[in-house]
A and B are shown apart, each in its own frame.
Chain A
């Protein structure tokens, strides 16, 4: 479970990046955080990962305070960034091997790595190729494999579909559905309204650091999500 209680972030230059965010994402739920660039989506992820400290409020992962116990909290969360960057001189297998060791997983064999890489849709002949030759979509798959192998109960995704071809995006969608079915709490920050309609249990719309509305699936399916989003964006 991911929770943000009155979460506020003001940077040193005085800019209010996040204003009193209250959010709770339950296990088995996919929450889409929509908003324009600079709305505060990535700041929210940075706070969940303890990359920055909140000015006010709390971030909790499985009820563990991220600010107080960051290492313990991060055991329960996996992260996929917008543009997954890996160690270019390592192969896909070596990258997943390193990050699984970093996640504290026990001894895994090659077959464990290969099965995860197959699961995210990477071709067998790419397993032992240096990732610096990979396309963005292939790197994104390896990034997702790294998140999956960690087997944490929460997953944070920052614009994961940006720049992916339709096939790769569809594979990612299928994988996220599977992860939700396994009871993972998933927070996905994106501009991708189409994907939100397809996947989200709930959608939050952010503007200027504030979460201005949360819509349940019934609500955003009944209304046109795109129109709703644009109307909130155009409001002063």
Chain B
């Protein structure tokens, strides 16, 4: 019976406008995203290679990853170039010509993460918004329930069939562009990167399932289609645009936000204070200033890391936050990756300074292993699964008592 309902939902859905809308949206948006992100990736690769040619100074920069074709995350923060000149206390950031793309700063990047998080989540709600109340209004629900078919089979059949309609165009479009991008020169995914892409895909599928189920839940709680679509729209606005800023607001109100400007001032004051002491040798003076600056930087980093951890933990409780954390971690452009990159950079410079070394490999920054990325993402994935299961149970309980009159 369940199969009969799934088949009916798919056949009916394929003929409807929603499926066409999703298919066209996926093909156009994912294709456009592929083109834009590939163009960015090319610029970053060129930039990375260009900087590496300069042998006179130590330049630190994370190599662009092919995963940035799908998830941008903290890429702009992480792929900045830092230069360290012998005798300096700390590295300074290099200005990069290619970042002078002011127009793109005005709009969010159209990566897979953005498309799924904002656009496809809305389409997922649209797929679900009239599944129950629409069928009640049409009168077909009464006819269906006049047969020896359980409500459990009906609701499961509707969920499975319509989710298949939502996810199939997404997967087909994704696969199509994945094949195309792999044929482009200069793009090569390693086995580990393919596994990471699959995890991004899996978390996207679960995230879309959560929004689709929200639509179905609203549909089963609404009396009319109009009420359902309005509620869906409000829910979408809340989860996509309002909720993510909650975490930052709560963090600002409850945590002490470290200000880099203040730390820099403190460093300058400390340096002036130490330089006043003329008894020290030149080397000892340098060491003292360096140690003081490092201690201030470490304190700043610790505060910043705990601030980021706080925001991450709050966001983790919501589907949008959990999805962003999960995908950015798996693509190695997450907040944890950025924290690790800064720590790596800091420790490398420290070791160079301490060992009085004057050369180093440019690319000393190591990425999280796939196991580490997974362990950083596991709670986020579990939160998404928890939402999906919770919503299925809610829909089931509401539909069991649903008044079909």
Q: Which A residues contact B (CB, under 8 angstroms)?
A: 42, 46, 49, 51-52, 71-72, 74-75, 77-79, 81, 83-90, 94, 98-99, 101-104, 143, 146, 150, 156
Contacts and interface: CB of A to CB of B under 8 A. Distances in A.
Interface of B: 1, 4-5, 8, 11-12, 15-16, 138-140, 142-150, 403-405
A85 to B, nearest CB: 3
A21 B145 CA distance: 23
B143 A94 contact: no
A39 B228 CA distance: 32
A99 B147 contact: yes
A87 B148 contact: no
B138 A102 contact: no
Contact of A90 (B11, B142, B143): B11
Contacts, number: 68
18 contacts: A46-B405, A51-B142, A51-B404, A51-B405, A71-B149, A74-B148, A79-B146, A81-B139, A85-B143, A86-B143, A89-B15, A90-B11, A101-B4, A102-B4, A102-B147, A104-B147, A104-B148, A143-B143
Contacts of B149: 71, 102
A146 B148 contact: no
Contacts of B15: 89
Closest 4 CB pairs of A and B: A85-B139, A79-B146, A89-B15, A74-B148
Contacts of B11: 90, 94
Contacts of A98: 4, 8
A78 B148 CA distance: 10
A79 B148 CA distance: 12
A87 B12 contact: yes
Contacts of A89: 12, 15-16
Given A90-B11, A94-B11, A98-B8, A83 B147 contact: no
B12 A102 contact: no
A77 B145 CA distance: 11
A99 B143 CA distance: 9
A148 B145 CA distance: 17
Contacts of B8: 87, 98
Given A83-B139, A101-B4, A74 B12 contact: no
B140 A85 contact: yes
B143 A51 contact: no
Contacts of B147: 74, 99, 102-104, 150
Output the residue of A46, A90, A98, A146 with the most chain B CB within 10 A. Answer: A98
A143 B144 CA distance: 12
Nearest to A150: B147
B142 A103 contact: no
A90 B16 CA distance: 11
A102 B16 contact: no
B153 to A, nearest CB: 9
B148 A71 contact: yes
B138 A85 contact: yes
Given A86-B140, A87-B140, A89-B15, A74 B405 contact: no
Contact of A52 (B4, B146, B405): B405
Contacts of A42: 405
Nearest to B140: A85
Given A51-B142, A81-B139, A99-B144, 13 more contacts: A49-B145, A71-B148, A74-B147, A81-B143, A85-B139, A86-B143, A98-B8, A101-B4, A102-B1, A102-B144, A103-B148, A104-B148, A143-B143
A81 B144 CA distance: 12
B16 to A, nearest CB: 7
A139 B4 CA distance: 22
B142 A81 contact: yes
Output the residue of A87, A104, A143 with the most chain B CB within 10 A. Answer: A87
A53 B404 CA distance: 12
A143 B403 CA distance: 22
Given A51-B142, A51-B145, A51-B405, A71 B150 contact: yes
Contact of A146 (B1, B12, B143, B150): B143
Nearest to A51: B404
Nearest to B1: A102
A26 B150 CA distance: 27
B146 A49 contact: yes
B98 to A, nearest CB: 51
Contacts of B143: 79, 81, 84-86, 99, 143, 146
B138 A78 contact: no
Contacts of A87: 8, 12, 140
Output the residue of B144, B146, B403 with the most chain A CB within 10 A. Answer: B146
Contacts of B4: 98, 101-102
Contact of A78 (B12, B146, B403, B405): B146
Nearest to A79: B146
Nearest to A74: B148
Contacts of A71: 148-150
A98 B149 CA distance: 12
A99 B11 CA distance: 14
Contact of A74 (B16, B142, B146): B146
B82 to A, nearest CB: 60
A98 B147 CA distance: 11
A129 to B, nearest CB: 14
Contacts of A79: 142-143, 146
A104 B403 CA distance: 24
Nearest to A158: B142
A14 B35 CA distance: 64
B189 to A, nearest CB: 41
Contact of B12 (A81, A85, A90): A90
Contacts of A49: 142, 145-146
Nearest to B147: A102
A42 B149 CA distance: 21
